[in-house]
Structure 1
Amino acid sequence: MSEFRLPNLNALRVLAEVARHRSFTKAAESLGVTQSAVSKQVAALEAELGQPLFVRSHRKIKITAFGRRVADLADGAFAQIRAGLREEEAGAPDQIALWGDADFIELWLFPRLHRFEALHPEIRISISVQVGMNRPPQGRYDCAVIWGRGGWAGCRFAPFLTNSVFPVAAPGFFHHLGRAPALSDIREQHLIHDQSAYWWRAFREAAGARSFNPNAGRIYNRSALCLEAAVRGHGITIGDEVTTREHIEQGTLVCPFEARLPSPDAYYIAQPEGGRETPSLTTFLTWLEHERDAHRQFFQRFWEGRG
């Protein structure tokens, strides 16, 4: 099979301009050439393709169906070339490979990330998540947000966000009481656990309450699921300052009790040993620190307002 030979590319460009303007004269002005030159290019292309591209009448032209198909193909091809050259000139965005705990990424980072993207469109954040991420990821990464207590090998890490935990429920969950609720008002079937019953046991012990079995209720493996169930009024769960911030701000969840406990775990920022240090990564980490500081100030005001 013989190789198909493309028509003259300059003639195709002329055809696309004539089709766009529906005029030889306006196409010539757009291209910065004479009308005669445009006419000659179109005529030569018609001869090369063996079919008319335009029907000509006095002071008027009409593109044929074949001419429209060829013009559309040419216009699309030139548009793709222009777009590709613009991308080459601008350069590919600097990409940061971020791994993170799924609940942190979904419930804390995502509500804020659009602000970073608006400030720095030249930086692309490539995100991978892991449920209950408590160790550095395998494979290549630039930075990671890990939940735990540090001490990991093969990376540099620093505390990012500490956490307080506290029971949360939908705003009207205890309205039937007609008074401020106490931990003793909790019913076993209403308990929602995040991965384990650890925190409900801790709150029961801290309050000296014995009115409910802390091992009862439902267990989910995602904070997002626990919080959504509480928002729907299906029960009461343990929230924390990181994952529950947006619900508290929006009023979809409230803290019905004064009780809160510090978590022994924290979110850490980790970077691989010998990992690359780029201006874009520094910019992103600095932005994260700024958002972290604003987050801390929010909860400082929040707890002071409840005092």
Structure 2
Amino acid sequence: MARELPSLNALRAFEAAARLESISRAGSELHVTHGAISRQIRALEAELGVPLFQRQGRGVTLTAAGLRLRDAAALSFGQLRDVCVEISRDRTRTPFVLGCSGSLLARWVIPRLERLGRDLPELPLHLSALEDLPHALDGLDAALLLAAPPWPKDWHVEVLAPETVGPVVSPAYSGWPKLKGKPASCLLDEPLLHTASRPQATLAWARAAKLPGSPPSGQGFPHLYYLLEAAIAGLGVAIVPAPLVAGELAAGRLLAPWGFVATDAAWVLASPDRRHDPRAPALAAWLANELAEDRPPPS
């Protein structure tokens, strides 16, 4: 079956040249050369079997057929632009579904929601708690993750900040007096609180801190949120991500005498590559800025 419409690229080139009354200006608007516009117009004229422009001095004018096509093309492209704008506006009113672990949600995201709403009013968020590190992002526009690469090939990943972890302790911890003033190596004899959701954190910290071994495991907790609460309650020393305890450190409820070190993991905003939401970059920039403010300098 024969194609009913000529090439849309050719029609777009013609519409721009006819509207601007200049092939050169049409090339500038469409970011192509004068020759590319001319070739598209010649191909369109050949397909239609009639001239659309005629030379007049150094310029060109539209023929009768060109005038008819100009008016029709202007109307059609104008309607397309209007519909695209309406669709884009509708998209900005659609909630942006952001997934993250319950611990990140409770300890870091929720305390910032009011500020996020003020800074990005065009981004209504719908939050979804993730139980585990997802292998797919089904049903999500993006996920805020704290993990190490490699990432799935069908993900678009924005790295927001390196992961920085370190041991924290409450001044109320009964073992604090014997640890106070000691180097980080003293923790090689200290059973550390740990979490099943990030079991490699202690080893990653010990390796980054260049310790000759790894501290033994103390009491375990199923989620990072519970681990943080246990540390605040004075149950022991815990290796935790720095941004999650920035408030407690500032208030003196937790201490970080041995500092923080960067691991091979990162805070990332991951979205499905097949339907990358154009609002995601603004959210990524906002999250990265927040993480930069919370991150202490590595020890």
Give the TM bin, normalised by the shorter chain. Answer: 0.5 to 0.7
Shift in alpha-carbon separation, 1:277–1:101, aligned structure 2, 3 A = same
Q: 2:155–2:273: 8 Å Cα contact kept in structure 1?
A: yes
| Unaligned 5+ runs, structure 1 | 1-90
* C-alpha displacement of 1:232: 0.3
* C-alpha displacement of 1:190: 4.6
Name 2:109's counterpart in structure 1. 109
1:124 aligns with 2:124: yes
Name 1:293's counterpart in structure 2. 289
Output the TM-score relative to the length of structure 1. 0.56
Shift in alpha-carbon separation, 1:216–1:172, aligned structure 2, 3 A = same
Shift in alpha-carbon separation, 1:242–1:133, aligned structure 2, 3 A = farther
- Identify the match of residue 211 of structure 2 among 207, 219, 224: 207
1:303 aligns with 2:297: yes
* C-alpha displacement of 1:162: 1.2
CA distance in 2, matches of 1:186, 1:108: 27
Task: Spell out the pairing of 1:256-275 with structure 2 (5 A cutoff).
Answer: 256-258=257-259, 260-275=260-275
CA distance in 2, matches of 1:248, 1:179: 16
* C-alpha displacement of 1:298: 4.4
Shift in alpha-carbon separation, 1:294–1:200, aligned structure 2, 3 A = closer
Q: Deviations over 1:234-281 (max 9, x none)?
A: 1110011232233223322111224x3322111221222231645xx2
* C-alpha displacement of 1:114: 1.2
Task: Spell out the pairing of 1:31-110 with structure 2 (5 A cutoff).
Answer: 93-110=93-110
CA distance in 2, matches of 1:233, 1:107: 18
1:191 aligns with 2:179: no
The percent of aligned pairs where both chains have the same amino acid is 17
Name 1:255's counterpart in structure 2. 256
Structure label with greater radius of gyration: 1
CA distance in 1, matches of 2:228, 2:268: 23
Q: Deviations over 1:29-73 (max 9, x none)?
A: xxxxxxxxxxxxxxxxxxxxxxxxxxxxxxxxxxxxxxxxxxxxx
* C-alpha displacement of 1:290: 3.0
Count of residue pairs the alignment pairs up:
204
Q: 1:193–1:218: 8 Å Cα contact kept in structure 2?
A: yes
| Structure 1 SS opposite 2:256 | coil
Counterpart AA for 2:165 = V
Q: 2:192–2:239: 8 Å Cα contact kept in structure 1?
A: no
CA distance in 2, matches of 1:207, 1:178: 16
CA distance in 1, matches of 2:179, 2:200: 30
Q: 1:227–1:239: 8 Å Cα contact kept in structure 2?
A: yes
Name 1:243's counterpart in structure 2. 244
| Structure 2 SS opposite 1:243 | helix
Shift in alpha-carbon separation, 1:242–1:178, aligned structure 2, 3 A = closer
| Unaligned 5+ runs, structure 2 | 1-89
CA distance in 1, matches of 2:118, 2:289: 20
| Structure 2 SS opposite 1:181 | coil
Name 1:159's counterpart in structure 2. 159
Shift in alpha-carbon separation, 1:144–1:201, aligned structure 2, 3 A = closer
Output the TM-score relative to the length of structure 2. 0.57
Counterpart AA for 2:211 = A
* C-alpha displacement of 1:151: 2.6
Counterpart AA for 2:144 = V
